[in-house]
Copies of this chain bind each other. A is one copy, B any other.
Amino acid sequence: MGTSGHDPERDAGSPTFSPSAELPPLPPDDLRALRRVGARWQVGDAVRALPVDPQSGEVRSGPAGTADRAGMLFLPDGPGRLTATPIAERQDTAEGRAVGVLRRVLLGRPLASASILRERMPKLVALPVLASDLLSSVAYGPEAMLTVLVLAGSGALGLSLPIAAALVLLMIAVGTSYRQTVYAYPHGAGSYLVASDSLGPRAGLAAAAGLVLDYVLTVSVSVSAGVAAVTSALPGLGPYRVPLALAVIGVLLTGNLRGIRAAGHVFAAPTYLFLAAVLGLIAVGVARSAAGGFTVVAAPPTPAVEGLGLLVVLRAFASGATSMTGIEAVSNAVPVFRPTEWRNARTVLTWMVGILIVLFAGLTLLIHLNGLVPRADQTLLSQLARLTFPTGPWYAIIQAATALVLLFAANTAFNDLPRLLYFMARDGYVPRRFLHLGDRLALSNGLLALAVAAGVILVAFGGRTHSLIPLYAVGVFLAFTLSQTGMVNHWRHRRQPGWRRRATVNAVGAALSAVVLVTAAITKFTAGAWVVVLAVPLLIYLFRRVRRHYDHVEQTLGLHPVTTGRGGPEPAADEPPAVVPQQVRHLFLVPVARLNQAALRTLAYVGSLGQPALALHISPEQEEADRFRAQWTTWGDHIPLETILSPHRVVIQPLAGYASALRLHHPDLTLTVVVPDVVVDHPWQRLLHYRTEQRLRRALRRHPGIVVSSMPTHLTR
């Protein structure tokens, strides 16, 4: 494994998070098209004759603005350049201000884009943040394995040691594989990026679908399990299980919205406490067992309900493999490490896998030595802790730490899912708003989406952990399998020194992961895995639909219309239509219901533009039309008027129909419908008005070439 520093080749296509990801540079084709279009523009000098100087202080200051900087909304930053001050970011309604204050209290002051590089984690902070999911799995992994084995009678429990050994090998294989991934993809994104890169976009989407489900389930399962641990200790809280779990999700969301470093500090303590508690438990347990000469206590005899066959062994193996959920975390999160990122990430990954193996093997061994079997009323970890520490506060500490670490395990998903969505959004498979960096530089939309999805699942399943567990392993091992298969391809294509060894390591990992995936999908299908088996293709379909939409947007809005085969350098037929002002022919339409101030202001506005204009009036009956015409004449008939009798008293459709019929027969015209709009003070007052403006806008929005504009008249006192 080369440690020869940074390899620039490995950077291609995967920059780190950037606020500009939402506004990427134009490709050269577009720039050429832009220049061609611009060369044909013809506009009068009036357009450039601004009636104001946008750089002058008075333009840049708000209501309270004097000449001092404190009142300024914008600071000058060179000709034609301004920088918005926090004042310009404030919402100026009472509700907006209240929301702003709440955000500042919950999230802290916003961070500027320029401070993005500082938000990195040292290794000892990254470890608890990224490891809590992986390490907390040992609280249920060994138990899940033994619960299957005991179905074949207590005699089968002896198989736990060889199966655990196989799982340790799997952990080493997968861990080594991800070490290679971290090195090969120093900018993160894990399985999605690896599978897309090496196996093609479909495999990448499959891996992404598996991971998305897994992250959402991680939050739901960990939070509900953690809350269940708390409510077991304090049964009085039992009825508030679901609200408590939602509150925990809310705390996690807030912590992560504040930004990753703050989140790391919050979550470090419980993970280290759990680590210390379980390591202590193992040390004391092994020491006692050593004092007794490592004699194995016989397990209480349990009748077999199934024969001991390959299926039982495989199910036990698949169930025990849930101990590995979360191993992916580091490879997704490489960019949160301090430079050199990939090197630090690899170190933490090695630590994590090492600790996992010690915890998993130690706990499995102690359980075997003490002859413990799964019981309905107490977890194995709890039995072991009670046996090892019959007196003193240690039992309580271990249980509390377990509960806490389970709650914080959910945090791994809050770290990883938004990142995954960011990379997918950059490729156009999920909404682009997942690219947006929140005011604390966190990927706020991804965090919110995760919290909502996990909350919905939690409420739908009533906060019951056991109904969610079977859904859990399929997604993650799908991602493992695809990612490691992808790595095999990666090495094969590159043929760097030592590629055969690396490819072999990844191939072993891929094969073992595939076995777990197939076993889990088949043996747990009826228990809930079918949900995931259905959801994965559904998600892939949705990702592709989203991508298709963005491709269509790109085609429609792009400056270089797709050349149909010919591909000449400047084909005139491919020129974007109607993007130069001299081509635009105007007709303004003004719907007028009654002649009041709002209507007269709108008519004056339209009249002042010096373009052809036509007023429209809808009458419910002939005599009203006559009356309105008389008023129009009184006013002076300055703009041509068309009255439309609508005998069934419909208003919006005839107006929209008139405009669209006009436009249909004169596609060269650009119609602008300017609607007088009365703006009320309070939302309830909207009930008192017809809201023609909004309804007409909705009706006309479907029609191309019709610009809808509204001239507001305000009722504010």
Contact = CB atoms under 8 A, between A and B. Distances in A.
Contacts of A670: 605
B25 A627 contact: yes
Contact of A43 (B37, B77, B607): B607
A717 interface: yes
Interface stretch (A109-117, A162-170, A509-517): A109-117
Given A93-B702, A559-B596, A647-B83, A20 B623 contact: yes
Copies of this chain per assembly? 2
Interface string A39-52: 10101101111111
Interface stretch (A132-140, A234-242, A314-322, A582-590): A582-590
A313 interface: no
Contacts of A87: 657
A358 to B, nearest CB: 43
A624 B23 contact: yes
A82 B661 contact: no
B710 A704 contact: no
A26 interface: yes
A300 interface: no
B51 A585 contact: yes
A557 to B, nearest CB: 4
A73 B658 contact: yes
Interface string A649-676: 1100110111011101110011010100
A595 interface: yes
Given A581-B607, A642-B82, A678-B557, A38 B88 contact: no
Nearest to A688: B431
B706 A43 contact: no
Nearest to A431: B688
Interface in A627-659: 627-629, 631, 634-636, 638-650, 653-654, 656-658
Contact of A645 (B81, B607, B635): B81
Interface residues of A, number: 168
A375 to B, nearest CB: 44
Contacts of A709: 672, 707-710
A578 B602 CA distance: 10
Interface stretch (A199-207, A223-231, A489-497, A547-555): A547-555
Given A23-B594, A47-B613, 5 more contacts: A82-B642, A89-B650, A89-B657, A557-B596, A558-B597
B658 A74 contact: yes
A41 B638 contact: yes
Contacts of A46: 610-612
Contacts of A582: 608
A685 B552 CA distance: 12
A611 B113 contact: no
Contacts of A658: 73-74, 82, 88
